[in-house]
Structure 1
């Protein structure tokens, strides 16, 4: 797998997973339509840097999501409104090793154990995650709610 120093989240990004290097350093494993990469940055840093690149800081986007939805924990965010890129965290976003999932690309979730599931993406990629199906589906629904609210607001402006 190709190792790269930097990565910008885009419309083809499916999921960003934490992965530890051979000396214990935390990196990101990014899956997208064209393939997968190891990025020498933490998942949350890729989220924050991509938010800034697209015009607003992570904190501002997080505050906007909280204000729009009332959610206080595991809050989904819009990375870039121009391409309608919404991500949700699996686990606390305050933990450096949380995975981040692109809402648009999730096709379905299946349970493979009490706290173990597969997330299937539109390109047939299947990722095993240590969360129950109910938890993941809840996050998908919360992100759908944020997406609906924000799309409605953006359409009202036109």
Structure 2
């Protein structure tokens, strides 16, 4: 089990989830491994905004203005390569997970018949990631991330 103090989001990062373990506060799903991090998911996002030359608040404000949305906005983590994450819930909620939008291949309804509260499966290239939020919510969040990506690419405001 790999535990790190801080985590830098990169092209291998797929999702960041909260954890309640004593030795770590986040679980990062990468393409080929899982990493346990002493930072919370929000602290990971905030740290990556800082090393990317901005603040979490600044990235939120920019996203709000670029896509004309106020809540649960996607966050640009890196400009080169352009990496954008979106929250599954309000970033203030402990249960909020962060998904790297660049890697989402599909979002479908969770199909297992078990007693869990899972509703959604995010399909990455070779990994499935399950969530409690509805497929509609996750598709909307992914759409916001796509619109932010396009607004940055076109250097224009794109209201959705």
For normalisation by structure 2, the TM-score amounts to 0.88
Query: Which residue of structure 2 lines up, in the alignment, with residue 119 of structure 1?
Result: 122
Higher percent of residues as strand: 1
SS of residue in 1 equivalent to 2:155: helix
The answer to whether the 8 A contact 2:121-2:131 is kept is yes
Query: Which residue of structure 2 lines up, in the alignment, with residue 91 of structure 1?
Result: 89
Query: Which residue of structure 2 lines up, in the alignment, with residue 40 of structure 1?
Result: 38
Alpha-carbon distance, 1:94 to partner: 1.9
Alpha-carbon distance, 1:26 to partner: 6.5
Structure 1 position 28 matched with structure 2 position 22? no
Which of 129, 132, 155 is equivalent to 1:130?
132
Q: CA-to-partner distance for each residue in 1:36-86, whole Å, 9 max, x for gaps?
A: 111011000000001101111111111100111111111111111121000
- Tell me, which stretches of 5 or more residues in structure 1 are unaligned? none
- Structure 2: how far apart are the matches of 1:26 and 1:149? 36
- Tell me, which stretches of 5 or more residues in structure 2 are unaligned? 112-116
The answer to whether the 8 A contact 1:76-1:86 is kept is yes
What RMSD over aligned residues (CA atoms) do the two structures have, in Å?
Answer: 1.8
User: What is the aligned length?
Assistant: 151
Which of 58, 61, 69 is equivalent to 1:60?
58
- Structure 1: how far apart are the matches of 2:17 and 2:127? 14
The 10-residue stretch of structure 1 (81-90 or 111-120) with the greater mean CA deviation from structure 2: 111-120
Structure 1 position 147 matched with structure 2 position 145? no
- Structure 2: how far apart are the matches of 1:127 and 1:29? 13
SS of residue in 2 equivalent to 1:97: coil
The answer to whether the 8 A contact 1:28-1:38 is kept is yes
